[in-house]
Structure 1
């Protein structure tokens, strides 16, 4: 069954290395929490809030061993007034035997405010 796994994090600055590091950390946390491997992944969608544009966050994933062939797509978030600034989100579509309730979505740092019902401390 293909399931979606969500995740989000925030960064302190619109800086390429900061964005790449945060994207890598978020992906690694999602993968660890759900026990998925790159070969299980159908695709990864990455969005960033409009105040982040220093780099494509997909570059962080493309350089990770084993992730070279996973389809990646970057996009901008809708600029809604009052939305969380400097936010990076991932949506991973993966083959898994986990039910919707068993999937562990990962929210790091300030992004925990987006889904406090799903964020673990």
Structure 2
């Protein structure tokens, strides 16, 4: 069965190096928390807030060892007034037998504020 795993992370500024590092950090943490191997991943959709434009986060994923064949695509989030700035969001579609309630969604940095209910679940499970 294919399940979606959500994740989000913020960066401090629109700098290509930081976007690459933090995107890789998020994706690897999502995989680790859910015992996912690249071969299990059907596709990844990455969105960024419109204030991120100096690098493609999808390129960061493709450069992770063994992730180069995973289909990855980038897009921009809706530009809603008052929304969290400098945010990278990931929707990872994975083949898994794990139930929906057992999926560990990962929110890092300021993005923890987006879903404190899911961020707390992930923190408890990783201890």
Higher helix share: 2
Find the counterpart in structure 2 of residue 48 from structure 1.
Answer: 48
Gaps of 5+ in 2: none
Tell me the CA shift for residue 20 of structure 1: 0.4
TM-score in terms of structure 2 length: 0.94
Tell me the CA shift for residue 49 of structure 1: 0.3
State the superposition RMSD in angstroms: 0.6
Find the counterpart in structure 1 of residue 21 from structure 2.
Answer: 21
Tell me the CA shift for residue 65 of structure 1: 1.2
TM-score in terms of structure 1 length: 0.98
Deviation string 1:29-60 (CA, Å, 9 cap, x unpaired) is 10000000000000000000000000101111
**SS in structure 2 at match of 1:118:** helix
**Structure 1: 4+ residue segments shifted above 2 A:** none
Q: Distance in 1 between matches of 2:62 and 2:92?
A: 14
Find the counterpart in structure 2 of residue 117 from structure 1.
Answer: 117
Tell me the CA shift for residue 64 of structure 1: 1.0
